[in-house]
Chains A and B, each alone.
Chain A
Amino acid sequence: MSSGIDLQGSFIQLLTDSGLPIGVAKTVWIPLPMLIIVAAVTVLALVSTWLERKVSAAAQQRIGPEYMGPFGLLAPAADVIKLLFKENMLPAKTDPWLFAIAPLMVFIPVFLSYLIVPFGQNMVITDLNIGIFLWIALSSIAPVGLLMAGYASNNKYSLLGGLRAAAQSISYEIPLSLSVLAIVMMSNSLSTIDIVNQQSGYGILSWNIWRQPIGFLIFWIAALAECERMPFDLPEAEEELVAGYQTEYGAVKFMLFYAGSYANLVLSALLVAVLYLGGWESPIPVSWLASLIGVSESTPWLQVIAASLGIVMTLFKAYLMIFLAVLLRWTVPRVRIDQLLDLGWKFLLPVSLVNLLLTAALKLSFPVAFGG
């Protein structure tokens, strides 16, 4: 395995060569990837709102956004500008503090979780040892924010929506964690980098989706429920609850909820790509192609191409999953709340437990294929 290009190492090397002490060089480096990721995530979330519009239009045989820029690409920008310039109002008898903090409680954990999403061997903010567990822990903060929004709004629909959202998010966290646990068991590590490296070697054949098909389905269903996407968007069921916990929100605070939900969708899709679809690995391994045309893996231009290909591959896989999610949204009807909880507790939970046991058994009996 080649280590690929190491931007952090080269950047710090450059600064120390020009006479800075190593501590200062590292301090200069730290904010750069964070800023890049925050900007990139915002753009990715905006792109997915545009995709949502275009794909839903295609699903309903409409044209969709057309006049705002080429192919309506500027529609998300128009959304953002509109929401930024709207009056920031506080409905009567709300709790001003909790009302303002709630969107942040939903928004910040999502953006913090991007810490562990890798785009390449060294293209990650931090290769934390607890990796994927950090995401599970951070995503459990969101229900607190939802309950806060529901309580602070002084509106019974908001309160019901907040309670529903929190209940849903708690019940689908368990199958989600259990299916992640099966992957962790196979790769012997919680770190996302190790999980991807364990899937490399034979290109598309070594991806986890072939070894964990049940886990993949459970993960995707549970992730959709966590993001409150269509078959499971009960907290916002408009014919019952107006808009759930978002009812009283407008302007920038609403934008935080909205951006948070799309950033969460992108995050889930990226993690599906990392956990099950081989992360930044391309279907045909780059190293194999390189040896075929007789180029050394440490050639600089090859490393640049491999790194860019890694980013493109991760994003391509993630957006494939988002496309699937949008199609699902416009295809399947919404489930009822009792069906939702039945599905989570009585079906997904036992199935994911069985999947975990099966993985453990297979790991013991076929250590070669299941990471012994």
Chain B
Amino acid sequence: GAAPANKPAIDLYDIMTTENLIPILSNKDVQESLRAHLPEGSTITGSEKELRDSIQSPQFRQAVGTFSVALQTGQLGPVLAQFGLPDEAITAANEGDIQAFAQAMEKHFKKSNEGTEEKKPTDNTMDTS
């Protein structure tokens, strides 16, 4: 399905800007999880600088553009399901609703502010309420 007609089409590409992403890369856990998904052979250390270079490269930007179009047109849902994302996020993706997708993702992944909670499991057995 396409994006609802009453809502303006939001392009994830415009949100995944280098400006917005660079601060995220300063987190050591994030660096660790991203490093594994860099092109093989392109990196020696997987340093923060290499991650920054990657997200600024035209090749990566292009992939984000494709991802964004697919999300907006509701084509990404089945793909995301393979990556174990929460059901709510997948439903939103199937509808091409980026706002609902972002909310669902945040609801699932955002650590509670009290900071007492342990890392959430990555499988999607929870939180479909």
| B and A form one assembly | no
> Taking beta carbons and an 8 Å cutoff, which residues of B are in contact with A?
none
> Taking beta carbons and an 8 Å cutoff, which residues of A are in contact with B?
none
